[in-house]
Structure 1
Amino acid sequence: MRLAIRGSRETPRRSRASRARRLTGAALATFLGAAVLAPAAPAAADSPLRDHAAQQGFEIGAALGADHLQNDSQFADLAATEFNASTPENSMKWSVTEPSRGQFDFSQADAYMDFAQANNQKVRGHTLVWHSQLPSWVENGNFSESELLSIMENHIDEVAGRYAGEIAYWDVANEIFLGDGSWRNSVFYETIGPDFVAEALRMAAEADPSAELWLNDYSIDGINAKSDAYYNLIQDLLAQGVPIDGIGLQAHLINGQVPSSLQQNIQRFADLGIDVAITELDVRIQMPASDSELQQQAQDYRAVMDACLAVDGCIGVTVWGIVDKYSWVPDTFEGEGAPLLYNDNYQPKPAYDAVHAALGGQNDDGDDGDDGDDDPPPDPSGPCAVSYSVANEWNSGFTGQLTFTNNGSSALNGWDLQFDFADGQQVNNGWSAEWSQSGSTVTVSNASWNASVPAGGSVSVGFNATHSGANSEPDSFTLNGQSCSVS
């Protein structure tokens, strides 16, 4: 559900900035030729990612560097062939577009936009207000609140206004919280206070009334203090009538560490009535990458794809780059790399096949990505594993924690977990689920935001209960009527 204020926006206007941004003659042919006119790079599967994504009304995107598009024809080929959405990697950031106060340079952004439009890609504008990659005149300026607001408004008006009607989504404010959920001490927060976010959203709504307006950050993929801060902020913004349309979960992940609560987190944001996307996905590996690590990476990419595809409000997944050799990861995380879908030699990795299969495609051998094509599909409720622990205990009460994992190969769409207490324990209250008890039998049912659990996904819940004397742990559990192993 969209805010009424969004529907009241005026028809997109043309910016007062010059729109003379077309490459001409030989330059245009050189820039677009590889992507539009040359034969596509050899495909790893039956058809490119974008074709399968389009059939599902889904966006599969990549971050594109304007320099790579202009100077690397293989990169441009893959960008055009495989992706129906894209994000300008750096070319719309403040240090590039307004390196000196009031002096704008859109050459890189224009080049990127020409490519994206020529290849029918939805564009995510990135980013208008961010503490990083700021020119020194902004970051180190000693401005009053009113002056910085004026600077921010002018920048947003010029950048978002230039491409009004051409950008599908704007990352308006980027990385505004620290890991513990507290505000990051950027020049914007220190000078204006937390209201800088709402002000930036309102300014962007004026500059480009047709674009969706988003917040975006890393390490908010699972449910944690930082993602809670965004959840609470978005609730407040909606209550104030501030235009906010979506939240981007960056998903810069470590191999083998996809958050177990990823899908539940996506669902809870979608339940607020906003869109959600995975906006900057990569999965980094300790180098050199072994075959087993590449297979684990493929499983991680599949898990992220499945989590997004399982939630109606999750509109797409964008990978932060295409080929490993251009990734930001090795320069930032010493000894780590190989985070993307293609290796240094532009060959698709197992991660590509995993994304392709998640979108419904087939791999080189005709496999649709599922093992055992001739076998009947497993029961969607699937086998499961449960861990149970007592987190805290006192004279007549205790706090218990439960985590179950869906070990089946299909997602759960609604679940009931049941177990029996042997010593007369009684549940008083619980969280992250609906709790009920009849006699010794406790039933834990999904909440609205964690009803769907992907294959391999986990759900953690907790409760408070009373006991008298013994407090033995349950020794058996069932999930949707099927017995679970206990760890």
Structure 2
Amino acid sequence: MPAPAGRARRVLAATAAAAVVGTLAVGMAVAAPSTTDAAPTLGQLAAAKGRYFGSATDNPTLTNAPYTAVLGGEFNQITVGNTQKWMYTEPSRGQFDYTQADRIVDFAQAHNQVVRGHTLVWHNQLPGWIDTVPAGELLGVVRNHIANVAGHYRGDVVHWDVVNEAFEEDGTRRQSVFQQKIGDGYIAEAFKAARAADPNAELYYNDYNIEGIGAKSDAVYNLVRSFKQQGIPIDGVGLQAHLVLGQVPSTLRQNIQRFADLGVDVAITELDIRMRTPRDATKDAQQAADYRAVTNACLAVTRCVGITVWDFSDGYSWIPSVFPGEGAALIYDENFGKKPAYWAVYEALGGTTTTTTTTTTTTTTTGGNGTGCTATYRVTGQWHGGYQAEVTVRNTATSATTGWAVRWTLAQGQTVGSLWNGVATTSGRDVTVRNADYNGRIAVGGTASFGFTGTSTGANPVPTITCATT
């Protein structure tokens, strides 16, 4: 169908952006690596390998300047997290509203980022009027919706998640309103309508819990194989990858490869890796290893075209609201500090970091009852512009502690960012870390520890550190 009126401004913006980006072998434009001496971003590192590394985002965060500075600077791809879904784009039958989604697309184009469209047909986040449509009319409604939405963004979106989450865990069809009123053919009809609306967008089927080989991913595999045999247009499979700490499927790479062998691309579309909170150094290390494993699995298969995290900062993750007691699933913390998971992805994509280990111990005894402690400061990782450290507090007194505090002075150019298992306060360059509410008691001879990440513009020297019981 012809491009709708009113799109001229965005098409011109996309054309201008295309003049300053590189091109992937799959035909997708992504930002090229910088030629400056600054450390490369994840988007630049991915582009150098012919892929993208992106983030989902949502409209309320676009007014947060620290957030948008990272969103616009670190990634070369954006997914519209919510506002291209049916309840936003067609809230009333035949009445379309693209105001919110357009803002995200405009943001992406202003930062030379490609856009994944999400999603045209999904059983969730539907307007209430859908349920009232007679069975004999619903296929026409679906076709009209896709024609309008995909047509509106024709030329602006490189991928469309055409159909989302159409299968149950056992591989049977989800009994959505579309399945019940239209039948098995609705998925194929949606892909045909999307191709007609935007012949140049890559068309994806997207789902969760299909990262490894199993009943659900087998069902998707059979659907894709059938579509390819019948000539139904499908270009890719999206593996959402909402994963649990330490549970990256062992068959992830094999699964990506078998889909690629069908002649379609694969994308990791909604990556996050959740843990039981609070964070600690052990969990962070496992999460970093998991993010590295997912990134390496994608890089190992030529037709795995990119990775998208489902937002990038723990402060904007959907996980805590859905999985009580879990969270910290993303590569940046709540304060936009880069977590170990970030650096694992950075290294997997070809970025260079250095690692050092340094220890210093200073003992201070305080308190009228003669209680005391020692603190051991250890740099566990160091990279361009940043570092990670761990401090171990040992009770050297003759009775258990009820609380402790560790103090040191930052060298010029150092900062403390994300910190776990303690509560930090700073005054100028002076840092004080007190115990959290769960680790103030240390038995005689026992230890407690906290960790943190920070930035450093210089040599990152080990500080003189003192410890006192409270």
TM-score (ref. length: structure 1): 0.66
Structure 2: stretches of 5+ with no match in the other structure: 11-37, 358-380, 382-470
Q: 2: CA distance between counterparts of 1:348 and 1:209?
A: 39
What is the letter of the counterpart of residue 134 of structure 2? Answer: F
Match of 2:248 among 251, 255, 258: 258
Task: Tell me if structure 2 keeps the 8 A contact 1:46–1:362.
Answer: no
**Helix, strand or coil at the partner of 2:333:** coil
What is the letter of the counterpart of residue 298 of structure 2? Answer: C
User: Paired residue for 2:220?
Assistant: 230
User: Paired residue for 2:409?
Assistant: none
Q: 2: CA distance between counterparts of 1:239 and 1:312?
A: 22
**Helix, strand or coil at the partner of 2:132:** coil
User: Paired residue for 2:64?
Assistant: 72
What does 1:304-319 align with in structure 2 at a 5 Å threshold? 304-319=294-309
Q: 2: CA distance between counterparts of 1:366 and 1:112?
A: 41
Matched, 1:127 2:119: yes
Deviation sequence 1:292-319 (CA, Å, 0-9, x none): 1011001000000000000011001100
Q: 2: CA distance between counterparts of 1:366 and 1:132?
A: 48
Task: Tell me if structure 2 keeps the 8 A contact 1:221–1:265.
Answer: yes
User: Paired residue for 2:135?
Assistant: 144
User: Paired residue for 1:452?
Assistant: none
Equivalent pairs counted in the alignment come to 333
What does 1:241-320 align with in structure 2 at a 5 Å threshold? 241-320=231-310
Q: 2: CA distance between counterparts of 1:329 and 1:255?
A: 13
Q: 2: CA distance between counterparts of 1:19 and 1:359?
A: 35
What does 1:333-482 align with in structure 2 at a 5 Å threshold? 333-363=323-353
User: Paired residue for 1:108?
Assistant: 100
Match of 2:2 among 13, 16, 19: 13
Q: 1: CA distance between counterparts of 2:271 and 2:262?
A: 23
User: Paired residue for 1:61?
Assistant: 54
TM-score (ref. length: structure 2): 0.69
Task: Tell me if structure 2 keeps the 8 A contact 1:46–1:364.
Answer: no
Deviation sequence 1:132-159 (CA, Å, 0-9, x none): 0111111x224123x1011111111111
What is the letter of the counterpart of residue 19 of structure 1? Answer: R
Deviation (angstroms), 1:365:
5.7
What is the letter of the counterpart of residue 56 of structure 1? Answer: K
Structure 1: stretches of 5+ with no match in the other structure: 1-11, 23-44, 372-487
> How many percent of aligned residue pairs carry the same amino acid?
54
User: Paired residue for 2:418?
Assistant: none
Q: 1: CA distance between counterparts of 2:326 and 2:309?
A: 17
Deviation sequence 1:184-207 (CA, Å, 0-9, x none): 000000001110000000000111
Q: 2: CA distance between counterparts of 1:193 and 1:308?
A: 34
Taking CA–CA contacts closer than 8 Å with sequence separation of 6 or more, which of the two structures ends up with the larger relative contact order?
1
Cα 1:233/1:134, change in 2 over 3 Å: same
Deviation sequence 1:1-49 (CA, Å, 0-9, x none): xxxxxxxxxxx7312x543777xxxxxxxxxxxxxxxxxxxxxx93211
**Helix, strand or coil at the partner of 1:215:** strand
User: Paired residue for 2:159?
Assistant: 169
User: Paired residue for 1:33?
Assistant: none
Matched, 1:330 2:320: yes
